[in-house]
Amino acid sequence: MLSFSVIAPVVGCSDHRMGLDEFLRMQERVAQAPGPAVEVPAGEPAETLLEQRLGPYRVGPGDVLAVWLTGADQTTSPPPLRVRVDRQGVVHLPLAGNVQVADRELPDVEAALFEAYVPAVLKDLAVHVELIDPAATNVLVLGAVTSPGLVPLRRTERDVFHAIVQAGGLVSDIASGQVRLRRLRQPAENVILDLTTPEGVRQALAQPPLEAGDVLTVQAVTPNTVFVGGLVNAPRPQVYPQGVRMSVLQALAAGLGLRTDVTPREATLIRRMPDGSDAHVKLNLDRITKGKDPNIMLAAGDILWVPHTTGTRIQDWVNRNIFFRAGVSATAGVNYNAQAIEFLNSDAERSAGASQGSMQDLYDPFGYLLRNNALQALNAQAAQPR
């Protein structure tokens, strides 16, 4: 007698997968969800923000300046004076006293020193100022950059872009363009900045200056790999260049198609969602193939699995236990094959999975069992005594 143990594990199991329509609605909600809130100064145009971040250097507290003072009556050039800007933004110079230089560009600092000396101290003077040791703020840059680690930033360069440049720049083939900013003094507050969009660049420019101990992480792009398995001829990870997207049917074709010894009609898509959960989606391959359901695009990291169903397990069992044994002997197994034909045509199995015709039409379309059964009947008649 035939065993029905192959059917038991798959009958009565609940299906936890969501439908394709529900998944598409969920994807639409995710796409429309607002990103993390980033405060941008009202009315601050992008040009002004860019000028503030990328404009000329402005002197500030802690900077060390070299000052050359050359008079018209001097025959030799004196060594430069080394002065440090104090906490109030002031430098102290001989004879001239205190001069306010904070938040000034170097040409403006030279002009301020000239006014302090001429004509109160000297009738004529040439002033030249250089920044020789700027006060540095050390921030930590991690992730997809050339030289991750602590990087020093000058006072007016304490922003995301200068920090990334100081770390050697992005690693172009793995950097996603998204940066996570975590401030030492506000550890619970993470800001995600997308530097691939104009709005993301503006948000990055509008951030308050970085402070010592802040951490920037340049996030690496997710490897563009789709995992295809189950009832396909070549189950394996499929790796594609960045930016290449594959549909469900393309991924199945790249897996050399579905197995032909069984007739799988559905697949399961497993996708990691932004909240860290996995969405399990039931796909009807017949409907997708016929264009009745959308041939959705897969995302990097997706798992496309073609699982066994009740029908494919029956087919697999028949292939391994009936078709194989039916051809072993021409004299043995008459009852076995007759029971096999009855099994294939039974009402119970027809209601379990066959949608067109009998189970025999579905699983024995070439009449192999019938011909084998007829051959065994002729052998049995020939073996009877005359």
Say whether pLDDT at 109 is over 90.
yes
Contacts of 181 (CB under 8 A, 6+ apart): 160, 190, 191, 192, 193, 207, 214, 215, 216
Encode pLDDT of 251-307 as tens digits: 999 999 999 889 999 999 999 888 888 999 999 999 999 999 999 999 988 999 999
331: closest CA among 367, 385, 383? 383
* pLDDT score of 67: 92
What is d(CA 7, CA 283) in angstroms, rounded to the nearest whole number? 22
pLDDT band for position 8 (cuts 50, 70, 90): very low
Answer yes or no: are the C-beta atoms of 280 and 17 closer than 8 Å. yes
Q: Are the C-beta atoms of 160 and 207 separated by less than 8 Å? A: yes
Q: Which numeric CATH code is attached to 64-133? A: 3.30.1950.10
Total residues found in the chain within this entry: 386
What CATH number labels 46-54+136-220? 3.10.560.10
Q: Where are the domains of the chain?
A: 8-32+224-308, 46-54+136-220, 64-133, 311-383
Q: Which CATH number fits domain 8-32+224-308: 3.10.560.10, 3.40.50.300, 3.40.50.2300, 1.10.275.10?
A: 3.10.560.10
**Burial class of residue 301 (count of CB atoms within 10 Å of its CB; 0-12, 13-18, 19+):** middle
CA contacts within 13 A on the Cβ side of 24: 9
Residue 336 has pLDDT above 80, yes or no: no
Query: Cβ(294)–Cβ(288) under 8 Å?
Result: yes
* pLDDT for res 155: 83
**From 14-23, 76-85, 125-134, 355-364, the region with the lowest mean pLDDT:** 355-364
Give 297's DSSP letter. B
Percentage of residues in the chain having pLDDT higher than 90:
36
- Residue bearing the bigger pLDDT, 335 or 51: 51
When comparing pLDDT for 8 and 63, which is higher? 63
- pTM, rounded to two decimals: 0.52
| DSSP single-letter state for residue 20 | H
Which pLDDT score, from 0 to 100, does residue 101 have? 92
Cα separation values, 47 from 44, 193, 205, 208, Å: 8, 19, 10, 17
**Tokens representing 369?**
């069992």
CA dist 304 and 234 (Å) reads 13
pLDDT of the residue at 244: 85
d(CA 163, CA 210): 9
Whether 194 and 178 have beta carbons less than 8 Å apart is answered as: yes
Indicate whether 218 pLDDT > 90: yes
Q: Is the pLDDT of residue 346 over 60?
A: no
Mean pLDDT score of the chain: 79
Instruction: Kindly tell me if the per-residue pLDDT of 385 is higher than 50.
Output: yes
Grade residue 350 by pLDDT with cuts at 50, 70 and 90.
very low
Instruction: Give me the pLDDT at residue 11, please.
Output: 42
Q: How far is CA 168 from CA 123, 139, 162, 253, in A?
A: 48, 14, 10, 41
H or E element, residue 344:
helix 334-345
What is the β-pairing status of strands 136-143 and 149-154?
Answer: antiparallel
Query: Model confidence at 47, in pLDDT bands (50, 70, 90)?
Result: low
Which residue carries 């997308």 as its tokens?
194
Phi, psi of 287 (to 5 degrees): -70, -35
Mean pLDDT over 369-381 rounds to: 56
Residues 126-183: tens digit of each pLDDT: 899 999 998 899 999 999 999 999 999 988 888 899 999 999 998 877 788 899 999 9
Higher pLDDT, 166 or 12: 166
For residues 216 and 148, the answer to whether their CB atoms sit within 8 Å is no
Predicted pLDDT at 355: 47
Asked which of 23-37, 58-72, 301-315, 350-364 is least confident by mean pLDDT, the reply is: 350-364
For 320, which DSSP code? I
46-54+136-220 and 64-133 share one fold: no
For residue 320, pLDDT over 60 is answered with yes
What is the C-alpha separation between 260 and 283, in angstroms, rounded? 19
What is the C-alpha to C-alpha distance for residues 304 and 268, in angstroms, rounded to an integer? 6
pLDDT higher at 46 or 206: 206
Q: Alpha-carbon distance 243 to 127, whole Å?
A: 56
**Three-class DSSP category at 331:** coil
Q: What is the DSSP string of 89-104?
A: SEEEETTTEEEE-TT-
Residue type, 70: T
Contact of 193 with 203, CB cutoff 8 Å: yes
d(CA 68, CA 129): 6
- Which CA distances in Å does 257 have to 60, 138, 198, 306, 315? 67, 55, 42, 11, 18
* Mean pLDDT value across residues 201-215: 89
